[in-house]
A and B are shown apart, each in its own frame.
Chain A
């Protein structure tokens, strides 16, 4: 599904060049539930943005669903994003002047689905995340958890193969965080690959595979079975810190 080979990325600001990703090799199979972890500045968000074709990379190769993603035209990238992936952001990124239903329906607008039909589908997805009664509300009338659920419904409506979530629980309290994670788990159970970025270990522990980044390189990949061990190690880390 996803294959990264020696991917490099640096940000140039003025005369300074910041080498963020220093050769990432990563394979993610269809149906996996992966979290990317790392301290701030480790390049985890950058990696997710490259995976989601929201950003480009400098060197290496990235194969998404078998095709090489490199120097892609914005038009082609937009098409791929629309068909293949869905996004969930920390800051929700809902369009403020559209109500919940319209926000959810927007990806279908870009697939050319007519208004009536896409609004109907949007209501179905809002129902799935338990927000049917909030369909006519604007984002600023909703709580963070509700907004994130709207965003999830929006990411699902185009029936993507992969969901990318950048700190989906970063702006939420623990209870709503867990609710959101439950929804993401359900999505994953439905066969959709879910890749999320987080710095919270308890959130990461709910996934099947943890990719730990350190200084732009993959430090550690922890599989499902090792999670207990990981949690233990994390606890120890906390103690020493």
Chain B
């Protein structure tokens, strides 16, 4: 194997048969190259879309109250359902619920600081909202339990609001007027995965107290503790039934209480992606098979073409094993090197695309305040997969070369010599 003379003989043969070498190598390199592009694109698409999904917690669930549409236990349809703080307490301790936050809507959200003012949305919330919506704190802190308990007039400003009102000045500890009521800025945040940060967060208890909400809540944001579609649906069902019993409406009445279960969506989308992935794998396998057939074909022809040479070598004293070794090592060498070239070119192209996509992403992120839109990200292929594919082609080439080489090495040299 590590006989220098043997390798010199092989290199000499390769050097003097450039066309043959090129054709063999090309079929392998092309197969690997196409496979890398195919799998890379599939991964890129998958990565891009799942990244878009990860903006809110994937296991988030939202509930909102409405008006009944189905008569229930003698009560007519058309009743308004009103959530209260008591519902929050019930939901919080319900089995399968991780984080809970209630919200009371407040209208006409005019924010002002000094001479600067603007219309933004003030969201009243519990501290858990941070987990549900993946809110990222840029500076300071988020709403905490003490804010809730003491109904403090604290506010966490979205980055865009801060930029508009404070223009890079220090905001923490300053007072911002929301609907002309002063709130103390305790933090600056970005919405998880969002493109704009035009929401401000204030404690729900403060919101109720200051804006005449008494104990009323309009909606809930939750995260649930589920990994499968069935589990998440069961939890959603439990939540609906619990609140339905409490507020006396039919549990299936979507208009009395709306609910959106993100996990359900995510799981369904992931299923589609699973299907796309399988599809890509099928095409990839097809490409690989085409590569295998190509390499095998060329190897068959190459060995056939070399039958006479093999006859000559045998006539002057080459043993069958040395002849087979020569053909096989040459084929393995060519396919390995070519496979590697294909690998590098495929990876290179994917990296190039990645670079362009990232640039685009950055541009869109810059205009959107930190969060770009893309459905194509990080289009790379698992190295193990690429290596396995290359190895498969190398082995296929070797087998395809071995069979005719063995035959040519076995027959009487005179028969090989007669071959033209």
Contact = CB atoms under 8 A, between A and B. Distances in A.
A81 B315 CA distance: 7
A56 B311 CA distance: 15
Contacts of B316: 81-82, 86-87, 106-107, 110, 154-155, 158
Interface in B73-110: none
Interface stretch (A90-98, A173-181, A184-192): A90-98
Nearest to B17: A97
B204 to A, nearest CB: 85
B317 A93 contact: no
A115 B317 contact: no
B8 A110 contact: no
B414 A110 contact: no
B267 interface: no
A54 interface: yes
Contacts of A10: none
B318 A110 contact: yes
Contacts of A98: 12, 16
Interface residues of A, number: 32
B228 to A, nearest CB: 63
A82 B414 contact: no
Given A75-B320, A79-B317, A87-B316, A109 B414 contact: no
A65 to B, nearest CB: 15
B312 interface: yes
Instruction: Select the residue from B8, B322, B412, B414 with max chain A CB neighbours within 10 A.
Output: B414
Given A54-B413, A102-B12, A95 B312 contact: yes
A93 B322 contact: no
Interface string A47-85: 001001011100000000000000000110011011100
B34 interface: no
Interface in B394-420: 409-410, 412-414, 417
B329 to A, nearest CB: 14
B320 A81 contact: no
B5 A114 contact: yes
B414 A83 contact: no
B8 A115 contact: yes
Contacts of B16: 97-98
- Considering residues A83, A86, A93, A111, which has the most beta carbons from chain B within 10 angstroms of its beta carbon? A93
Contacts of A83: 317
A49 B318 CA distance: 17
Contacts of A125: none
Interface residues of B, number: 27
A49 B414 contact: yes
Contacts of A158: 316-317
B312 A78 contact: no
A83 B317 CA distance: 8
Contacts, number: 73
B412 A55 contact: yes
A200 to B, nearest CB: 22
A147 to B, nearest CB: 13
B215 interface: no
Interface of B is mostly: helix
Given A55-B412, A93-B312, A109-B5, A81 B12 contact: no
A33 interface: no
A78 B414 contact: no
A131 to B, nearest CB: 18
Contacts of B414: 49, 54-55
Interface string B307-348: 011011111111111100000000000000000000000000
Nearest to B20: A97
Contact of B315 (A79, A87, A112): A87
Contacts of B9: 109
Contacts of B8: 115
A107 B312 CA distance: 10
Contacts of A49: 414
Contacts of B412: 54-56
A95 B309 contact: yes
B269 interface: no
Contacts of A56: 412
A97 B16 CA distance: 6
Nearest to B321: A75
Nearest to A91: B417
Nearest to A46: B414
Interface string A129-162: 0000000000000000000000000110010000
Contacts of B17: 97
Contact of B320 (A52, A74, A115): A74
Given A87-B316, A95-B309, A110 B13 contact: no
4 pairs of A and B residues whose beta carbons are closest in the complex: A82-B317, A97-B16, A54-B414, A110-B317
Interface of A: 49, 52, 54-56, 74-75, 78-79, 81-83, 86-87, 89, 93-95, 97-98, 102, 106-107, 109-112, 114-115, 154-155, 158
17 contacts: A54-B315, A54-B412, A54-B417, A55-B414, A74-B409, A78-B317, A78-B319, A78-B320, A81-B314, A82-B318, A89-B417, A93-B312, A93-B417, A95-B312, A112-B5, A115-B5, A154-B316
Interface of B: 5, 8-9, 12-13, 16-17, 308-309, 311-322, 409-410, 412-414, 417
Given A74-B319, A97-B17, A98-B16, 9 more contacts: A78-B318, A81-B317, A94-B312, A97-B13, A97-B16, A102-B12, A107-B316, A111-B317, A114-B5
